[in-house]
Amino acid sequence: MNLTSEASDFAPFRIDPMYVERIWGTPDLRPWYDYGTSADRTPIGEVWLTGDECRVASGAWAGRTLGEVLSEHSVAMLGAAGAERTRRTSPLLLKVIFAKEKLSVQVHPDDRLAQKYGQPRGKTECWYALAAGPGAQVAAGLRPGVTLQQVEAGVADGTLEAELEIVPVAAGDLVYVAAGTVHAIWPGSVLLETQQNSDITYRLYDYGRPRELHVAKALEAIRFDTAATRIPPIELADRTVLVDREYFKVEKIDVNGVRSGDSMAGEDVAGADIGGTRPGLAYLFAAEGSGRIAPSDSRAFEAVELPARGVVAVPASAPAWEIEDLGGLDLIRITPSWPQGDV
Q: Is 14 a catalytic residue?
A: no
Residue 114 is inside which H or E element, if any?
A: helix 111-116
> 132-141, 152-161, 274-283: which range is least confident on average?
274-283
Is the pLDDT higher at 279 or at 142? 142
* CATH number of the domain located at residue range(s) 17-53+92-230 in this protein: 2.60.120.10
pLDDT at position 87? 65
Q: Superfamily assignment of 234-336 in CATH? A: Jelly Rolls (2.60.120.10)
pLDDT at 165 over 70: yes
Provide the phi-psi class of 83: left if phi over 0, else alpha when psi is between -120 and 50, else beta: alpha
CA 94 to chain centroid, in Å, comes to 3
Same fold across 17-53+92-230 and 234-336: yes
Residue 326's closest CA among 310, 306, 309? Answer: 306
pLDDT over threshold 70, residue 206 = yes
Confidence of residue 31 (pLDDT cuts 50, 70, 90): very high
Which run of H or E residues covers position 230? strand 229-230
Cα–Cα distances (Å) from 89 to 19, 59, 92, 197, 296, in that order, read 21, 21, 9, 9, 29
Among 210, 204, 104, CA closest to 157? 204
Q: Where are the domains of the chain?
A: 17-53+92-230, 234-336
Higher pLDDT, 272 or 48: 48
Residue 343, pLDDT above cutoff 50 = no
Share of the chain above pLDDT 70, in %: 90
> Catalytic residue among 203, 259, 309, 333, which?
203
- 227-237 average pLDDT score: 95
Mean pLDDT in residue range 187-216: 96
